[in-house]
Each structure stands twice: as structure tokens, then as C-alpha cells.
């Protein structure tokens, strides 16, 4: 289950910031997670909850911003969500498209409670 190691890495990232803010407490982590990242959202949320439960971060929340697979048409320049792996533009039918989002796995923000 690689979601556990991802949850641990998220907490390590938060702890780096907390070391620079003595006395601050972690309240929330905002995570951008793409459809193609290969991460199960529910498993990741569960692992994060277990890791913070009996720690100095008890009560911290993980908020996941799901990023669908999106392409841009190189003909008409419109962006569209990819459905059932069909990368053709639904607007003009062109097949020449470019990846725009859906691979993200990044901490977007941290919410801290200051003393």
C-alpha cells in the first residue's frame, strides 16, 4: 500500500514548515491529486487519519482536490475532460490534443494554527 508512504511524505513536508514556525499546530493539508497519479483517495485519507491520530498533529485534516484528466485541443484550443480514454476533441473532433492536467500529486497548501 503505497498510500501509507505518501501520507508519511505529506506529514514530513508539513513538519518541515512547522519547524520554521515554533508553536504552530497543523490544522489542514490541501493536496492536489490527479486522476492518473495512481493513488486511491480513500486509502490515502485513511492512512493520513491513522498517522495523525495519536501524534502531535491529532485532528489535522487532509483535503484532497481531485484533478481529472484534461486535454487541450491543438486545433480549436479548448480544454476538455478525457472520457473513457477518448482524447478526441468533443468540440471539433480533432485528434491532435495535449495533456493539461491529471497527474498531480502535490501539497497545495497547509493551514496552521498559530499559538
Task: Burial-class residue 88 by CB neighbours within 10 Å (0-12, 13-18, 19+).
Answer: middle
Phi-psi region of 8 (alpha: psi -120 to 50; beta: other; left: phi over 0): alpha
Q: What is the pLDDT of residue 115?
A: 80
* Interval 6-21: pLDDT, tens: 999 999 999 999 999 9
pLDDT of 1: 58
- Cα distance between residue 46 and residue 56, in whole Å: 17
Q: Where are the domains of the chain?
A: 2-113
**CB neighbour class for 48 (10 Å; exposed up to 12, middle 13-18, buried from 19):** buried
| CB-CB contact of 89 with 97 (8 Å) | yes
pLDDT digits (tens, 9 = 90+) for 22-53: 999 999 999 999 999 999 999 999 999 999 99
Return the CATH architecture of domain 2-113.
2-Layer Sandwich (3.30)
Q: Please give the Cα distance from 109 to 83 (Å, whole number).
A: 29
Helices (H) and strands (E) in the chain, counts: 2, 6
Q: At what angle do helices 2-19 and 41-53 cross, to 10 degrees?
A: 50
Cell numbers found for residue 19: 519547524
Q: What pTM does this model have?
A: 0.86
Amino acid at each position: 500500500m503505497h498510500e501509507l508512504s505518501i501520507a508519511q511524505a505529506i506529514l514530513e513536508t508539513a513538519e518541515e514548515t512547522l519547524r520554521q514556525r515554533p508553536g504552530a499546530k497543523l490544522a489542514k493539508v490541501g493536496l492536489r491529486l490527479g486522476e492518473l497519479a495512481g493513488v486511491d483517495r480513500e486509502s490515502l485519507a485513511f492512512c493520513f487519519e491513522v498517522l495523525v491520530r495519536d501524534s502531535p498533529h491529532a485532528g489535522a485534516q487532509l483535503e484532497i482536490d481531485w484533478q481529472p484528466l484534461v486535454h487541450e485541443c491543438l486545433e480549436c484550443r479548448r480544454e476538455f475532460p478525457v472520457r473513457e480514454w477518448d482524447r478526441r476533441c468533443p468540440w471539433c473532433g480533432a485528434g491532435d490534443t495535449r495533456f493539461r492536467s491529471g497527474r498531480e500529486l502535490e501539497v497545495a497548501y497547509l493551514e496552521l494554527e498559530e499559538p
